[in-house]
Structure 1
Amino acid sequence: MARFVAVGAGRMGRGIAISFAYAGYRIALVDLRQRSPEAWSKLREEAMAEVRASLQGLVKLGALQPEQVEPIASRVELVDAAGAAAALAQAELVFEGVPETMEAKRDAFAQINRLCREDAILTSTTSSILVTQLAELVHRPERFLNMHWLNPAYLIPVVELSTHAGTNAEVVARTRALMEGIGKLPVVCGPAPGYIVPRLQALVMNEAARMVEEGVATAEEIDKATRFGMGLRFAALGVVEFIDFGGCDILFHASREMAGTIDASRYETPGIVTKMMEEGRLGLKTGSGFYEYAGKDTGAYRVDVLSRTLGMLRHAGLWRPPADKTLA
């Protein structure tokens, strides 16, 4: 039986299943709902068709060979309600991915609690319900955390692990190791709405929509600026690393200016930035910021950042060699 189980055969469950199957693992995609034979057959066919279509998309992009599709797809086992007990009884790691209502989550975890072994790690893929709320539904909350996948789940490496105060440190370590074992990059955050990525994304997307609304720029110009300006730089440096690299003072003054000219609440300077300004901890230029640079070869670090940025430029096809002659 599979070591891994995704409960809920919808889009997220299918993406998770592809991730494990691609990495060489068998995974059970379990549907807990009682269905007629006809309805179950339809769901199973739809789910496997989507799995194969996603893999075929990777073939078209040169990421897979055509002959690899079926061996990978065969590692995904569709399991109906009648087979759920056997599948969950063997599971080491379970991903709950039923619809985003507390009623649906409560029903799913009632069955998961009853059918899973005591040492199984239980996770929810919810994008909107706090881990502290869902932990109350779990028989042993110390083995529970939220796990937010970024779509497409089988392609984007980052998965966000949202823990609560009672989540066991060993459970977090095991979960990290299991996810790293399938090529993912787990990041940990506390029980906060929006995790890390959606919280940052929402601010950027709302501000872009406002600029279109205000006539600041067209959608096309904003997208060009974000893909090849902001996006390209943030693909080379993390957001907080970017603050340190440029200097906390730049963010402080830019925020103060835009708070006065655009919107005071949207651009209010965070207290931590004000405190760092007062302490002279401006980042790389002063040797301390969000990160510490004491004893670090800052020259080599700057070259590394330049290398990362140059790599992104080349990937985007935007790097141009120097002109071989002086132009008029």
Structure 2
Amino acid sequence: MAGEIIACIGAGRMGRGIAQCVAYAGHDIRLLDAKPRDAAAFEELKAQTLGEIEAGLAAIASLGAFDKAAIGEIMARVKVLPSDQASEALAQAAIVFEAVPETEAAKRDAFAVFDANADEGAALASTTSTMLSTHLAAFTQYPSRFLNAHWLNPAFLMPLVELSPADETADEALAAVRGFLESIGKVPITCKASPGYIVPRIQALAMNEAARLVEEGVASAEDVDKAVTYGFGLRFGVLGLLEFIDWGGGDILFYASNYLSDAFKDERFAPPAIISRNMEEGRIGLKTGAGFFDYEGMDVAAYRQKRMADFLRSLEASGLVRPPVLAGNS
């Protein structure tokens, strides 16, 4: 899919991050300024936008990710156009990302630009982190071509993109955006239109609980963050949350959650109904052959060994693996 044309309405932080990803992957990217400006103000924005994208590439190259000599070729694929050149910016674009401020007025204006200028068949993908696709779909004349595509920051480094189609979204539009993202090295997932998507919803609970630990004097901010970095982060960089439940056993989570709920007298720790239902049905995880995932016919010993190898590589990357202390090297 190299060489496709991609457009983005909005040249702010997210638009610039998307441009960096798209151009790096070999595609032309056109950033359309969402605001009318006089010539001098636009030239200032353009210089700032291109400068930030180039600086981002240079920073990654300096870490050894790629040869900095390639930056010029990558930057040649990026164009920044003023708001009155929407037809040129969106012409022949297979996908148009919307990356304007999180207000309904800004979204409506951007969608109107898409409706008036995008090619027939082009997909429209909002990058909103707060609004639902089922709400935004009404802002365009072409809801079958619309969905949300929530990139995580920093866009160039974070592989995950949460795709959230509206009720009207055509399968072809979802497949086109998913396929493109996969082609540029991203990991798209699909979720229903729901407040917080997946990552922000889980993240909000974890961050609030970390703040409570400090507020309650349970531990210092430094030790809470060490616990997350060297415990939570390393563990769940290898095993997904639901996979970890199955790994240890859903029964452990069930009893631990009920204990915490009772100890704190707070229902926020209570296990959700699906955990209780899995307990009743004997879907405990690896030990029973099924949990959130089905392990029937799996070589569980080989699966555990692979996950342990993944965990070891994660520890090595973090500089946390040490050789054993033996008589000759103590």
TM-score, normalised to structure 1, is 0.97
Give runs of aligned pairs for residues 174-193 of structure 1, distance below 5 A: 174-193=176-195
Partner of 2:99: 97
Q: Which residue of 2 aligns with 1:128?
A: 130
In 1, Cα distance between equivalents of 2:314 and 2:173: 36
Separation in 2 of the partners of 1:50 and 1:277? 52
RMSD value, Cα: 1.6
Residue type at the aligned position of 1:306: M
Spell out, residue by residue over 1:226-278, the C-alpha distance to the aligned partner (whole angstroms, 9 max, x if none). 11111000001111111111110111111111111125221121000000011
Q: Contact between 2:125 and 2:146, CA under 8 Å: does it hold in 1?
A: yes
CA distance in 2 between counterparts of 1:32 and 1:235 reads: 37
What are the equivalent positions in structure 2 for 1:58-69 lying under 5 Å apart?
A: 58-69=60-71
Q: How does 1:1-328 map to 2 (within 5 A)?
A: 3-325=5-327
CA distance in 1 between partners of 2:212 and 2:230 (Å): 20
- Residue identity matched to 1:36: D
Amino acid at match of 1:172: L
* Structure 2: distance between partners of 1:15 and 1:101: 20
- How far 1:94 moved relative to its partner? 0.7
* AA aligned opposite 2:112: A
Alignment length (residue pairs):
328
Amino acid at match of 2:156: Y
Unaligned runs of 5+ in 2: none
Cα distance in 1 for partners of 2:38, 2:329 equals: 75
Q: What displacement does 1:170 show?
A: 2.2
Distance 1:215 1:72 in 2: 50
Partners of 2:142 and 2:212 lie apart in 1 by 45
Give the superposition deviation at 1:58: 0.7
Change (3 A) 1:112 1:209: same
Stretch moving more, 212-221 or 80-89: 80-89
Gaps of 5+ in 1: none
Query: Structure 2: which amino acid aligns with 1:119?
Result: G
- 1:122 touches 1:145 (CA, 8 Å); kept in 2? yes
Deviation per CA, 1:259-317: give whole Å up to 9, x if none. 11125221121000000011111011100101001111111111111111111111111
Q: Whole-Å Cα distance in 1 between the matches of residues 293 and 327 of structure 2? A: 43
Contact 1:32–1:84 (8 Å) recurs in 2: no
